[in-house]
Amino acid sequence: MSKIARKCRHLDAITEVKQNQVYECEECIKIGDSWVHLRTCQTCGTTLCCDSSPNQHASKHAQSSGHPVISSAEPEERWLWCYPDELIARY
């Protein structure tokens, strides 16, 4: 893995980017809804939908759980986002 830009303590704490084998929003699946893009929580590995999706499950998860960093779960995208610091890091 290439080096992650070191910008905050949350991103700094990530040594390996978590990826989920399951390519779907687990909360949308439960309610039968759809999503636009997928994000993976770097604390617990849960994959949830992005802010362009109707339910914005990834942001809601970050707020309710306090898990600070997500990665894009899209195969062609390689970046991390820190919610509390509003920082992006490409890797």
**Which residues in this chain contact Zn ion in the complex, by CB under 5 A?**
8, 10, 25, 27-28, 35, 41, 43-44, 49, 55, 57, 65, 67, 82, 85
Rounded least distance, CB 80 to Zn ion, Å: 10
Q: Which two tokens stand for residue 13?
A: 């704490």
HEC profile of the chain: CCCCCCCCHHHHCCCCCCCCCCCCCHHHHHHCCCCCCEEEECCCCCEEECCCCCCCHHHHHHHHHCCCEEEECCCCCCEEEECCCCEEEEC
Cβ-based nearer residue to Zn ion, 55 or 71: 55
Residues in the chain: 91
Instruction: Please report how close the Cβ of residue 76 comes to Zn ion at its closest, in angstroms.
Output: 20
Provide the minimum distance between the beta carbon of 28 and Zn ion in the complex, in angstroms, as a whole number: 3
Pick between residue 5 and residue 8 the one whose CB is nearest to Zn ion.
8
Given the complex with Zn ion, which of 44 and 88 has the nearer CB atom?
A: 44
- Supply the minimum distance, in Å, between the C-beta of residue 8 and Zn ion: 3
